Amino acid sequence: MKMNQVCYYKSINFIGKVMFLVVLALPRFDELGNEIFSEKFGVFPFVTQEAAKRSSVNRPAGIMETKRMTGVKRETIKSYMVEKLIPAIKEKWPVEDIDCPILIQQDNARTHIDVNDVEFHQAAQKMVLIYI
């Protein structure tokens, strides 16, 4: 969803909720106390693009609409981590710390991937990632 996109709802009781995967890192400081690294790696909304099935006053049929994902499952979380999280970390991680281990921490939600997930470990092999 674009940041400047405005959504209109007919009722305040039916506003859709969107889940996000947010990736942050702790700031790093040099010996003088200057911040040398404070990075937001990315905010990834769980949305899909679907073609409108019918025409309405607001848009013709076939126009791509942003829809929220309902029932985010473990496979969706894993695909977001492999396809979006790891490339974002690779792109923005400081060069001087490239050989240091990177810890990825999740809460205890049932949808999060397992610590011993083979596909995630294969994708993380290219970087020094530790998943906890």
81 in a structural domain? yes
64-113 pLDDT tens trace? 888 888 888 888 888 988 899 888 888 888 777 777 788 888 887 777 88
53 in a structural domain? yes
9 in a structural domain? no
5 in a structural domain? no
**How many angstroms separate the Cα of 108 from the Cα of each of 61, 105, 111, 114?**
41, 10, 9, 10
33-44 pLDDT tens trace? 888 877 888 899
**How many angstroms separate the Cα of 63 from the Cα of each of 7, 60, 79?**
16, 6, 26
2 in a structural domain? no
Number of domains forming the structure of the chain: 1
3 in a structural domain? no
Instruction: Quote the percentage of the chain above a pLDDT of 70.
Output: 85
Q: Is the pTM of this model over 0.75?
A: no
25 in a structural domain? yes
Higher pLDDT, 6 or 16: 16
Return the closest-CA partner of residue 24 out of 3, 1, 40.
40
Instruction: Return the pLDDT at 1.
Output: 46
Domain membership of residue 18 as a residue range: 14-131
Find out whether 37 and 25 touch, Cβ atoms under 8 Å: yes
68 in a structural domain? yes
